Structure 1
């Protein structure tokens, strides 16, 4: 039973990760009471995201990844444990650092999967989408960290009255930036925010170009083998 469950997770890990990322970034769409959402649902969504990120390492093999799984496991435990620790500046800072490292390693894992010899299938599509959403998640968390060090003068027209409202506005800003929509209703203030915004835009465009090349190449290769 346990082996079947592990096989199911391994087989559908990228689909699960996409769902958890969508819920974490855009789950507030289904709630009118943001205080209820921020107090209870966001914590659950964060736990689901940790779980969804961790299971992407189940289908990786090799000695180096055995060590990587140990690191991921430790990061998962540290992140999960710090969710329930007092919100002091030290613990909050540690949680943010561990969270960014955790997400970066997950993105690295997805990148290795995308460039590995692999046929064109739904796993490739969902892995590509999860990587794109992970870039948004990393950017959002980076801005949230920047707020703590630089104060509220990072982005204009962001609601800082409640942390969940701040998170939602930041998700919106990072999404319209990476997709090159750029409505202009929220703008970066100060050189750090401008540089971070520039990096986000460049990373998003670079990722799309590379991933589209990989998908087209594997699609053509898959059809030639038939």
Structure 2
């Protein structure tokens, strides 16, 4: 009986180890596949995240949706650039700082939290833009990743414009006509930033103060330069690849 029990125990242990090993191999395979996918589709994932940030709260009835959209953008940025130590530390710092601002909002009433959030977002998009523009500049071939990175760069310019205009409106209220009140301000200025950079310009929102006008001129100038510069780079890379 003891031998039988001993054999059963050994068999059970062996089965358990085999099962755990199988799970470990499956987990390792999934992790490797995800890492490979992220490495290959880095800027496509980032682009999807930006689109969620822009359009994610379209049908939302509460401001919470907008907060979740920005957090998913932080997390995707962390995942996409996780292999870069400095960027990983930066994204973790941004997420932690942003959570602290939200959690301790009641105790930090002496601070203008909207302004602080806006500053954090501007820094975040500036850091992201550096990586995106490096990809566009040094990419060897014209492919989906390059096109996704180029579009990411354009969207980042629009979002930077959004938060620059938002900072101006916070510090100097009524710098823009029809900017709205409270939670409407950011969404309206986001719309204004995109329509301005896309040269649609319906005229329903317009800068009034001199600072706002100068900011709009600056953002428009940078975005126009980006469009021309990126177009020339992509065409140049495409022609160079065809010659080879």
TM range (shorter): 0.7 to 0.9
Comparing 185-194 and 65-74, the one that deviates more: 65-74
User: Is structure 2 residue 51 aligned with structure 1 residue 57?
Assistant: no
Cα offsets for 1:4-49 (capped at 9, x unmatched): 22222222221122122122122343x1xx532x2x3212211111
Separation in structure 2 between the aligned mates of residue 175 and residue 79 of structure 1, nearest angstrom: 25
Give the drift of 1:186. Answer: 1.2
User: Contact 2:78–2:87 (CA<8 Å) still a contact in 1?
Assistant: no
Provide the TM-score with structure 1 as the length reference.
Answer: 0.84
In the TM superposition, what are the counterparts of 1:44-123 in structure 2 within 5 Å?
44-58=68-82, 66-86=85-105, 88=109, 90=111, 92=113, 93-123=115-145
Query: What is the deviation of 1:86?
Result: 0.9
Where 1:35 maps in the other structure, the secondary structure is coil
Question: What TM-score, normalized to structure 2?
Answer: 0.78
1:68 positional shift: 4.4
Q: Secondary structure of the residue that 2:105 maps to in structure 1?
A: coil
Aligned length, in residue pairs? 212
Judged with a 3 Å threshold, the aligned counterparts in structure 2 of structure 1 residues 46 and 117 are, in CA distance, closer, same or farther, namely: closer
1:181 partnered with 2:200: yes
Instruction: List gaps (5 residues or longer) in structure 2.
Output: 1-29
Structure 1, residues 88-115: CA drift from partner, whole Å, max 9, x if none? 3537243332221111010111111111
Which residue is 2:161 aligned to?
Answer: 139
Conserved 8 A contact 2:132-2:153 = yes
Q: Which runs of 5+ in 1 are unaligned?
A: 60-64
Inter-partner Cα distance in structure 1 for 2:104 and 2:217: 34
**In structure 2, what is the Cα distance between the partners aligned to 1:184 and 1:91?**
30
Q: Which has the larger radius of gyration?
A: 2
Runs of 4+ in 1 over 6 A off after TM superposition: none
Structure 1 residues 23, 68: CA separation in 2 closer, same or farther (over 3 Å shift)?
closer
